[in-house]
Amino acid sequence: MQNKRKGLWIEYIRRMLPDLRKKENLHVVFWLIKDFAWLADFKLLGMGMALPTVLLSYWLTYKSRESRTEFFHNLAVSFWITGNSMWMAGEFYFNDTKRHLVIPLFLAGLAVIAYFYLTNYFNKKEQ
């Protein structure tokens, strides 16, 4: 039974992987456009790209929930890009006075990735 489940899981990953990789690549393109718009002070483009970038990031996190490694990395990125987008909005519209509001999102991203690596380290140490 265990081998059959493992085989089904591997087949699922093989079929899903190309679609996820395409979406991850698209996410990077969205993120780059958003950050370029931020740098160039193109407020409409930056804010317009923030929403699809954030939404795609959380979609990728949801879709990767079957893989612990992918899930934790995508969750950290989702927190990070959400904070990054809020920071951009603060610079665009609030004279950069709202930066303190995004610190918890960046810390959450760091905490998620730290938890992943620490639990992996201690799990391997126990084996």
Distance CA 6, CA 3 (A): 5
Residue in the block written with tokens 């929403």:
51
Higher pLDDT, 1 or 46: 46
Residue in the block written with tokens 């780059």:
32
* Per-residue pLDDT reduced to its tens digit, 22-80: 889 999 999 999 999 999 999 999 999 999 999 999 999 999 999 999 999 999 999 99
Task: Tell me the domain boundaries of the chain.
Answer: 2-126
Mean residue pLDDT of the chain comes to 89
**Residue 75 has which token pair?**
């969750």
Kind and range of the H or E run holding 60? helix 43-63
**How much is the pLDDT for 47?**
97
* pTM, to two decimals: 0.81
Distance CA 84, CA 17 (A): 27
